[in-house]
Structure 1
Amino acid sequence: MGPVKSAIVEKLTEGLQPVSIEVTDNSSAHAGHSGNPSGSSDAESHFTVDVVSAKFEGVKAVGRHRLVYELIDAEMKGTSVPGHPGVHALVIKAKAPGE
């Protein structure tokens, strides 16, 4: 697990106390695209987050996404891992338990 993915998992786990969480690095599927022009499989530029948390109960999709973005703001901007330009693309699947 790369440093950006590790930071994302750690921050979302701490902030959301999820029932389940899966963070997938999709960077290799975007080789040569914007955000991963070098085509490096370890670019850590494209991620999917699938998370189930009670913190999402009663919160609409936009609010759920906003919460995720707030928790991993440094990873999105590229300020948490030296030399990393930031996450280019993020797919968020955020659900409350039972959904």
Structure 2
Amino acid sequence: MNVGRPLANSMRKKISDALKPSVLEIVDESWQHAGHSGNPSGDASAETHFNVEIVSEMFEGLNQVKRQRKVYQLLEEEFNEKGLHALQMKTKTPEEYELSAKK
């Protein structure tokens, strides 16, 4: 858990509770966007831009658009009220993850 990173912690909890992922990686890339859209003040402590990888059986039968829509719906509060500005996603089923690990 990222102590002092409330947005990342909130995202981790919501994704974990809803999708029961076997892999969940959340990388805060906000520092790369300081002074840009979403963080124009350049606040070094702002949590605005994240990259996530989620591997979940809940993605079975869903295309990438539907998977990402599901994640966006889970994080609606973070986008609308908590300052989340951008989210890059890799969403995979366990089988897809295993296949990509072999490459």
Give TM-score, length-normalised by structure 2.
Answer: 0.86
Q: Which runs of 5+ in 1 are unaligned?
A: 79-83
Out of 62, 87, 90, which is 2:84 matched to? 87
Equivalent in the alignment of 1:6: 9
**Could you tell me how far 1:98 is from its partner in structure 2?**
1.6
Distance 1:4 1:65 in 2: 18
Give 2:37's match in structure 1, choosing from 34, 47, 53. 34
Q: Which runs of structure 1 show a deviation greater than 6 angstroms over 4 or more consecutive aligned residues? A: none
- Secondary structure of the residue aligned to 2:91 is strand
What is the DSSP-based 3-state SS (H/G/I as helix, E as strand, rest coil) of the residue aligned with 2:95? coil
Q: How far is 1:97 from its partner?
A: 0.4
What is the distance in 2 between the residues matched to 1:71 and 1:27?
20
RMSD after superposition: 0.9
Corresponding position of 1:97: 94
Aligned pair count reads 93
Give SS of 2:8's match: helix
Structure 2 unaligned residues grouped into runs of 5+: 97-103
Question: 2:27 & 2:70 partners in 1: Cα distance?
Answer: 19
Find the structure with the greater CA-based Rg: 2
**CA deviations over 1:13-44 (Å, ceiling 9, x no partner):** 00000011011110000011010112222210
Which digits, 9 at most, give the CA deviation of each residue in 1:73-93, with x for residues without a partner? 100111xxxxx4x21111011
Percent identity over the alignment? Answer: 45
Q: Cα distance, 1:72 vs. partner? A: 1.0
* TM-score, normalization by structure 1: 0.89
User: Paired residue for 1:81?
Assistant: none
